[in-house]
Structure 1
Amino acid sequence: MTNLFANILYSYPRLHRFLYEDTWAIPIDIFRILSGLLGLVYFISLYLEVKDFSSPQGLINHQFMLEQFWWLKINLIQPGVTDNFFYAILIIAMLGTLLLILGVRTRLVAALLFIIAACIQRWNFYVMYVDDAIMHLVFFWLILLPTGKSLNLIDYLRHGSEVIDKWKNQRVPGLAMRCLLINICWIYFFAGITKLTSPLWLNGTALYAILLLPISIAPDFWTPDHVPILKFCSYFSIFIEVSLPFLLVSRRGSYTKWLSMVFVLMLNLGIALTLKIPYANIALVASLVLFFRNELMQYLLNKKIIDEVAAGPKKLWTSQIIAAVFLVILIFSTLRDIPILEKLSYPTTRFLWLGGIAQNYYLFNWIDRLNYHYDQSITFTDALSGETENIDVNSILP
């Protein structure tokens, strides 16, 4: 059976490379460090918002929410907790991000951070959005990625600067990382292609409508005079999102590969600077270190890199198998609007929810369906004279 499997793999070199090719440890650990720094700021923001959202005396009626949505009860946080509980677990999370940055017990720490982020996300379900979804997804991938093999404090304290050369040549299993990159490409592609179902995106006014929402950093800044340039940006953002998955996997050092970096920076930094969605977009920018891992290592090693292909099938570790299965389940869970796949989408979504994962890549394609405002007016008409009088709505409907 093993020989048969090996022969099948050799018949499909790309599949063989995808499953078994090793990758460089340093880019993965740089991503770990960047994610840790981002996670630290994220948990600090949650700490500062405890009184507003997490607190039982905050703006969210958690008991009512749990009564309405029973599946939110699948959570380690239950009614009866106090503000001090949230302050305590968020301090633990902040300390955990520091350990993650330093490379100490990285997978165990990532698991702890994932649990805390996922539980708070569910507890504050009414106000969760893309930032919360992407941040707990990042922590989940850090459980599966082979982190801590380089750029860690313990090795440096033991061996000093001599360990740097070892780090530069350290290679680790690459399947989990490649699955993560497919996940990121799917986020871009799915977010872009689903916007084509929205009339506002198709006529170019979606971005203007979005920038008037409370989620915009400066909603009062935008006026109808900005519509022409925002119309161009609307179409261009769709083009970027749909094309990025193909550009990011271009040949190393090609013009299209470098163009993908420009597009990623333009798209995500543009969103982070105009909308209150900083963490998700910065996390996607941080993933560039993985897409450009070979270019980075070529610079660090100051030589031409020849990618190594495993001579034969090696053992696939449990984390790698979980990464591949998770990726397939995640993709199916997002396809709920395709009739032929709908029956697969909902079970996979439920399965992910049981595991603490909540993902939705329909990003602002709903702008014309769910974004609206209405005006109320009350007019009193005298039955005898026919005279009319406008009544202050607030005096009747406060």
Structure 2
Amino acid sequence: MSEQNLPTQRARRQLLAGSASALAAAGLASFTRSAQAQMASAPAANLPPVPKPFPPYVSWKDTNAMILHSSTTIETKRASQGMGLITPAEHLYVRNNLPAPAASILDDREAWAISIEGVKNPRSLSLRELKTVGLESLPMVLQCSGNGRGFFPSKPSGTPWTVGAAGCVVWTGVPVRQVVELLGGALPGMPFMTSTGGEVLPAGIDPKSVMVERSVSAQAMGEALLAWELNGQPIPLAHGGPLRLIVPGYQGVNQIKYIKRLAFTAQESDAKIMSHGYRISPPGTPSDPTQPSVQEMSVKSWINSPLPERPGTAGPVQIQGLAFAGAHAIKRVEVSVDGGKHWRDARFIGPELGKYAWRQFALAVILPPGTHQLVSRATDTAGHVQPEQRLENVHGYNNNSWADHAVTVTLS
């Protein structure tokens, strides 16, 4: 079993494939120099591209379904998101602000400890102890705040995600509110819940300059979890195992991996990732603490089928996609086949898993041969409508523009 505790059929297939490769490698000595020279001189265009190897901590991912941007940023292909309500762990995107800790932290998951502060009776609790306090499961969308950055014409620095830095998964753990109740409640005058990750920090620099520490409203405690399972399995190292803070409805940067400290505080964290990082900075301005922080998600949707790479044929077409919001459930999704000139109501398909999960939608249409611009527009139960245009900002955060997420398909 791998360090990620994911003994899937795909992992077994990889093992078999790796064994076959090893046998093939053992026979390379039988190649003649002439054959080797012919291979070396073959035009590169005739050779299939060699995929970049995935880092060991994510070697269990489905490489055919993912885009490797870097060792800490891996995107799900739009065509691989499918229509399933729950994203398989092997298809879930990866975004880490720091390199993952050593896999040895998973050797004894139950011994992992978190310090709870800013409560009447502060103390450290092990994962083993947390499991005795309470238990809850929560389906929710996990999304990087830069999802959609790749659509910004200004090409902000950072990973050029399109739609693949998001997934809908089930977290299982103990509600934060129950842990706080156990310890006598939060102290008065503490409006923030501040959480610190357990990544190993580089030596010789100010820890506040690189540490992952974020603050959200203390009211978020009501539905937050200290989670130890992802889709019914122990959380893999790549996704924050052995213990991760989950704040439903908030962008991914606030879902602290390897959490080692949860504190109720009078002020927001002064770590750089909070004070200057993940701020909605207007174009041409440096980030600073006065600008809005990346917190809750906005209403959003996109189409996953048909796509340019698999357009299908003219005639009856089922347009399919996904929609979600932050603190509110999805109420309505409209679809346009002419770039937003005319709209039709789509229907929801599949079960509703709660306001924090995404909804599947579909619209049956008849499309003639030719090129069509397909787009979706979602509305949540609070009346927020997905906007046509993105909010321009330096770092490419919170892009929920329906125009940016349109797809153009040509049907024959």
TM range (shorter): under 0.3
Larger strand percent: 2
- Higher RCO (CA 8 Å, separation ≥ 6 residues): 1
Which is greater in Rg? 1
- When the two structures are superposed, what TM-score results if normalisation uses the length of structure 1? 0.25
Larger helix percent: 1
- When the two structures are superposed, what TM-score results if normalisation uses the length of structure 2? 0.24
